Amino acid sequence: MRAPVCVALLVLLLNDAENHQFSEEEMTDVRQRIKDMFYHAYNSYLDNAFPYDELRPLTCDGQDTWGSFSLTLIDALDTLLVLGNHTEFQRVATLLQDTMNFDIDVNASVFETNIRVVGGLLSAHLLAGRAGMELEPDWPCSGPLLRMAEDAARKLLPAFQTPSGMPYGTVNLLHGVSPTETPVTCTAGVGTFILEFATLSRLTGDATFEKAARRALRALWKTRSDIGLVGNHIDILSKKWVAQDAGIGAGVDSYFEYLVKGAIMLQDEELLNMFQDYDRAIQNYTRFDDWYLWVQMHKGTVSMPVFQSLEAFWPGLQSLLGNLDSAARTFQNYYSVWRQFGGLPEFYSIPQGYTVDKREGYPLRPELIESAMYLFRATGDHIYLQLGLDALESIERIAKTPCGYASVKDLRDHQLDNRMESFFLAETVKYLYLLFDPTHFLHGGGAEGDGSWEEGGEGGQCVLGAGGFIFNTEAHPLDPAALYCCSRHAEDRQELRHILLSLSQPLEKPASQSKPPTTQTQDPLRGQSDSIALKPGEKKTAPLLSCPVQPFSARLSILGQVFTDNT
């Protein structure tokens, strides 16, 4: 009888939550509490852990984890601006410019370095104008933070130099890929680059990054099973699947996320079609009663009837595609687990309704809060604000220490672990704050978009920051309008060069007898290494955005689904 009683209590709790409507005063109060949470963790990191990657909140010291980047500082940089702290943003951005060095003998995760370091620096670059930083004349197409992001990304490119185009999981930032590096990597480690790498290519005019990300995506696409699923780990050299469990959670999650967000940011039908094909297989083989299980990728038979905390991003992703009913039902399932434990365990057995052995921890992950933010923006339903308040109070009660916030080692008895991952400040706190600030500039501002617009590009010809930001999987916001702005300028310059070159040809000669421009004619053009233009002869393969901004009346107008403020 225990299970039915628990279910009944959860239903009552959820019904109570649905009935509460948050006032403006309550939301203001919650935002202040979230700010207090951020600064308790951030100041503890600065006082006790900097310049290490992460804070150890139980022993009040630091450790390097994913490299040696002062990772928490990079990850938290755009959160400072989200919270309105321009002064500290300027100080940290200047500090990073003066001290950051990627020429180090460190073995770094290609995936983590991309989403945290490259993504964090790109976001900070695109938000620098709002923080009052001094900008270069053609910002956002140039700038010191952009050059730092490009430098970091170039350190990752050797990992992509494989016969398949799929990258190794680890690269030495100084020496490249080790001869002993394993060729086995997870699916997400192959398919989670298009947002950052396409942003780099479109801002700088160097197509190398986007080409590498697309080649990896297309190679991975070709390895799907006959029933349309991909597994968890693949050998990038043989292209054989090593782990054949198919699902939407750990090891796979951000691959699907980047197909959708890449399609939105780049207006790319190829990426959208890939995801839609996957989604049909996912709904057909892995979905049961609005849960998503793990199945064998070739047969579709259930291999693990578990819910993983990383899967909680899925309702938010579904909302971007307009699948609100399905997203809301799945969110309620996941929310019921949160209410059961005060957090999401890493693994949760759906048949047993309890945690899985040795997977009882909660490292303060953001995914359910992330979905709540998207669903609240789409629906205005205050049930999602209730989840945010529950999360805030759970973390404060369970994870707070005198020296920051600690990962929860075991949700059953609330034992703590001596680690505060950088995503706590990059994602968890940021999504919480944005959930309770529906008029934030990252959402497009107020009803009229007050304070959301910026000028950018040469002569202020581009409109930037007017809503429609795309968050990478580490919650670093990227502005599609900036990509349009810089690639538009590059295309215009390229067209002008072709016109000038064609005018330099002798008009009296037939086209068949005309000679190509001489080396002397080409060299001055090629020598302009500081130009944002593409190299002569290069063309963008992905279509440009049709316009730099979305109208405010449909600021979540995505792929044909229009969600206004009144939805």
How does residue 151 score in pLDDT terms, banded at 50, 70 and 90? very high
How does residue 444 score in pLDDT terms, banded at 50, 70 and 90? confident
Q: How far from the centroid of its chain's Cα atoms is residue 344's Cα?
A: 20
Q: Which residues are annotated as a binding site for Ca(2+)?
A: 473
Has residue 144 got a pLDDT over 70? yes
Q: Above pLDDT 70, what percent of the chain?
A: 81
Query: What is the model's pLDDT at position 16?
Result: 56
Has residue 563 got a pLDDT over 70? no
Q: Which residues are catalytic?
A: 112, 253, 346, 367
CA distance 486 to 536: 17
Q: Which single residue is written with the structure tokens 């198919």?
A: 246
CA distance 174 to 180: 16
Query: What is the model's pLDDT at position 456?
Result: 83
Query: Tokens representing 197?
Result: 């790498």
Digit-coded pLDDT (tens) for 302-326: 999 999 999 999 999 999 999 999 9
Q: What is the mean pLDDT of the chain?
A: 87
Has residue 553 got a pLDDT over 90? no
SS (H, E, C) 279-317: HHHHHHHCEECCEECEEECCCCCEEECEEEHHHHHHHHH
H helical segments located in 458-557: 480-503, 519-526
Closest CA to 542 of 492, 476, 464, 483: 483
Has residue 519 got a pLDDT over 90? no
Query: What is the model's pLDDT at position 67?
Result: 85
CA distance 375 to 6: 26
Cα angle for residues 183, 185, 190 (degrees, 5° grid): 110
- For residues 265 and 533, the model is more confident at 265
Query: Which letter, b or e, does each residue of 3-16 get, where b requires 16 or more Cβ atoms within 10 Å of its Cβ?
Result: eeeeeeebeebbee
Contact indicator for 73, 97 with CB cutoff of 8 Å: no
Query: What is the model's pLDDT at position 505?
Result: 62
Instruction: Please name the residues in contact with 79: beta carbons below 8 A apart, sequence gap of 6 or more.
Output: 38, 425, 426, 429, 430, 433
Has residue 48 got a pLDDT over 80? yes
Q: Which residues are annotated as a binding site?
A: 473
Contact indicator for 15, 340 with CB cutoff of 8 Å: no
Cα angle for residues 559, 426, 39 (degrees, 5° grid): 135
Has residue 515 got a pLDDT over 80? no
Strand order through the sheet with 184-186:
184-186, 233-235, 240-243
Contact indicator for 414, 408 with CB cutoff of 8 Å: yes
Q: Which single residue is written with the structure tokens 């057995």?
A: 349
Contact indicator for 464, 455 with CB cutoff of 8 Å: yes
Contact indicator for 218, 194 with CB cutoff of 8 Å: no
Query: What is the model's pLDDT at position 498?
Result: 59
Contact indicator for 277, 228 with CB cutoff of 8 Å: yes
Query: What is the model's pLDDT at position 549?
Result: 32
CA distance 195 to 314: 18
Q: Above pLDDT 90, what percent of the chain?
A: 77
Hey, is 144 helix, strand or coil?
A: helix
Q: How far from the centroid of its chain's Cα atoms is residue 5's Cα?
A: 39
* Residue 250 Cα distances to 101, 198, 253, 437, 506, angstroms: 31, 24, 6, 29, 61
Query: What is the model's pLDDT at position 451?
Result: 55
Has residue 167 got a pLDDT over 60? yes
H helical segments located in 20-118: 24-48, 71-82, 86-99, 110-112
Query: What is the model's pLDDT at position 555?
Result: 32
User: At 201, which helix (H) or strand (E)?
Assistant: helix 194-204
- For residues 210 and 532, the model is more confident at 210
CA distance 130 to 445: 13
Has residue 560 got a pLDDT over 50? no
Digit-coded pLDDT (tens) for 449-504: 455 677 887 767 788 887 689 999 999 999 999 999 997 656 555 555 556 666 66
Q: In this structure, what are the phi and psi dihedrals at residue 481, rounded to the nearest 5 degrees? A: -60, -35
Side chain identity at residue 442, one-letter code: L
How does residue 124 score in pLDDT terms, banded at 50, 70 and 90? very high
Half-sphere exposure of 167 (CA within 13 A, CB side): 33
Digit-coded pLDDT (tens) for 207-243: 999 999 999 999 999 999 999 999 999 999 999 999 9
Residue 115, burial from CB neighbour count under 10 angstroms (0-12, 13-18, 19+):
buried
